[in-house]
Amino acid sequence: MGKRLAVLVGCNYPSTQFMLHGCINDVVAMRDVLLKSFGFDSSHVELLTDVPVPGSLILPTGANIKAALNRMVDMAEAGDVLFFHFSGHGTTISSLEPGQPFRQDEAIVPCDLNVITDMDLRQLIRRLPKGSSFTILSDSCHSGGLIDKDKEQIGPSTVEKIIPSVYHKPKIIPVATIVACLASVPTIVQGVAGAASTIGSLFSGIFGKDVSLKFLPQLERDLLKSLDENEGILLSGCQANETSADVAANGNIGGKAYGAFTTAVRQVLHENSGPLSNRQLVMMARNVLKEHGFEQHACLYSSDGNADADFLGNQRPSPKPEEEFFPTQ
């Protein structure tokens, strides 16, 4: 049996205008699920949070997250199961691809705002040894399609509009806001926000070699695209045009904040002791989100085979004490 490796990242952005509340709770809870139900060893689970918690020693900056992911991929061998869970803000950036001026590319937002884009994640997955698997669970806004070019298995929903029954904060920082914050000059946004080449110059100037691959010169990006594609599995908290919910502790029984998608996934896993395919897990999580009044629609991006493969390879039953996943407001 192969190794089971995980990187779990929770960003609450404390003491900033972007502050969230449940993201660190999400990844700490997911760590428990991995250890108790999926056979992960604590020495192979790396936790990065921007507020100190036991087991988290590294801040989730863009460079640190990518370094942790690269370490995990470097350790991987055939038969290994790799898992990346991100709970925090997401954003979109105008595409640099010729002829696609209106396309928006997805990204996640580390605590230092050094965005990690769909191109970074795809390039990481291309390094996987044959016979290993890489699953990403992203509880962030605009996370649908976060693995660039992966096949959509469960995507844009046509279900009726849901009237929200829970007050929540969307997990999004608009790229124009990121640009303004990094530049410290709000007027830079005028005529710049959405122009990826100019934004790329700003990011490159600040973060240097740690900048996203998306902001490399065109020739270097073309060389990256020439590599063969491998497979990844993305479970996203919402569609590419939607937001994911962060629910504060205010009024909750037990006073615990949470991310809606992560909590829905945990509830489904808790209530189903046998193996679940990635497709089953996402569809059940969608139903849980709808039941609790959240407007977001979870998505699945993967190959046909991986869509029907067991989530994280298999599931090992664990003790099931009573737990309230979505406390009453």
Residues carrying an active site annotation:
89, 141
Give the Cα separation of 172 and 140 in Å (integer).
Answer: 7
- Please, which residues bridge with residue 247 across strands? 258
Cβ proximity of 297 and 157 under 8 Å: yes
Residue 161: phi, psi to the nearest 5? -65, 135
